[in-house]
């Protein structure tokens, strides 16, 4: 019986130490100033973000997606057709073909902010995260098809002189050219920033004059501790439980000696 009590106390103390050592989320950022691939180093661990450009094959949101040319000049833009080289269509836009940028990370992160270095007219966009099992394949899907093939709409950010929570804006607020997104801090290794289009719930009046370039992403790495199940002590109570069990074991031993 003594051995059983000793093992129980040892396990409880170990559980308490484990709960206290759970990693916190580390905040960091990537700046796309010279290359579509950048590295951040949160908590001493390098996390690489790679950007790729995508566009619809035609002007319809029901058209399948295809790869496009990623441009870097004062931020990331997309060139999906020959006349996209001039201003303002050298940016990410939905005028004609519907453009987006896919960010793939070497580790699951919670994307929290998106900054624009340049915009013209407007900068409404949708933010989607990939929750499917294997790596995402965009080339065989339309924007609407993504939502039934492993992708989830996280935010729609409406720009009107600054990002706000009115109109078609979901989970976004802030000012200037930086949008706070994903307030619930959902995580994924793949994030898609798409110029506003009707496939993601935008009314047509919001989908024609968006031209913007991305230059900085903010995110958090590390997994926050999940909430404890009902009836199970929370991590903050585990150290107290361990101390209580140690006290009970000591008192039991004193009674046996007496």
Is residue 7's pLDDT more than 80?
Answer: no
Question: What pLDDT score was predicted for residue 178?
Answer: 86
pLDDT tens for each residue of 164-219: 543 333 334 444 578 889 989 999 999 999 999 999 989 877 787 889 999 889 99
Q: Are 99 and 211 in contact (CB under 8 A)?
A: no
More confident residue, 196 or 1: 196
Q: What is the mean pLDDT of residues 228-250?
A: 57
* pLDDT of 160 above 90: no
Percent of the chain with pLDDT over 70: 64
**Domain residues of the chain, as ranges?**
28-221
Which carries the bigger pLDDT value, residue 228 or residue 137?
137
> What pLDDT, on the 0 to 100 scale, is given for residue 47?
85
Determine the pLDDT at residue 134: 84
Q: How many CA atoms lie within 13 A of 253 on its CB side?
A: 10
Could you read off the pLDDT of 72-94 as tens digits, one per residue? 888 899 998 766 778 888 899 99
In this structure, what is the dihedral angle of CA atoms 153, 155, 161, 162, given to the nearest 10 degrees? Answer: -150
123-139: per-residue pLDDT in tens? Answer: 899 999 999 988 888 98
Instruction: Count CA atoms closer than 13 A to 151's CA, side-chain side.
Output: 24
Q: What is the pLDDT of residue 15?
A: 27
Residue 17 φ/ψ region, left for φ over 0, alpha for ψ in the -120 to 50 degree band, beta for the rest: alpha
């Amino acid at each position: 019986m003594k051995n059983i009590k000793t093992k129980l106390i040892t396990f409880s103390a170990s559980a308490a130490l484990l709960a206290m050592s759970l990693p916190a989320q580390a905040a960091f950022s990537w700046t796309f100033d010279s290359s579509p691939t950048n590295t951040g180093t949160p908590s001493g661990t390098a996390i690489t973000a790679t950007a790729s450009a995508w566009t619809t094959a035609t002007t319809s949101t029901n058209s399948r997606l295809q790869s496009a040319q990623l441009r870097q000049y004062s931020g990331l833009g997309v060139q999906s057709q020959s006349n996209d080289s001039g201003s303002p269509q050298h940016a990410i836009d939905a005028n004609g073909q519907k453009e987006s940028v896919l960010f793939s990370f070497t580790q699951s992160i919670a994307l929290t902010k998106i900054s624009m270095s340049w915009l013209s007219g407007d900068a409404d966009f949708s933010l989607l995260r990939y929750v499917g099992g294997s790596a995402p394949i965009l080339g065989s899907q339309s924007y609407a098809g993504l939502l039934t093939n492993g992708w989830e709409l996280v935010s729609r950010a409406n720009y009107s002189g600054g990002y706000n929570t009115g109109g078609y804006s979901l989970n976004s607020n802030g000012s200037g050219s930086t949008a706070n997104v994903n307030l619930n801090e959902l995580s994924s290794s793949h994030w898609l920033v798409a110029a506003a289009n009707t496939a993601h719930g935008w009314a047509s009046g919001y989908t024609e004059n968006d031209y913007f370039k991305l230059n900085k992403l903010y995110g958090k790495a590390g997994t926050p501790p999940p909430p404890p199940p009902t009836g199970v002590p929370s991590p903050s109570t585990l150290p107290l439980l361990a101390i209580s069990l140690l006290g009970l074991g000591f008192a039991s031993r004193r009674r046996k000696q007496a």
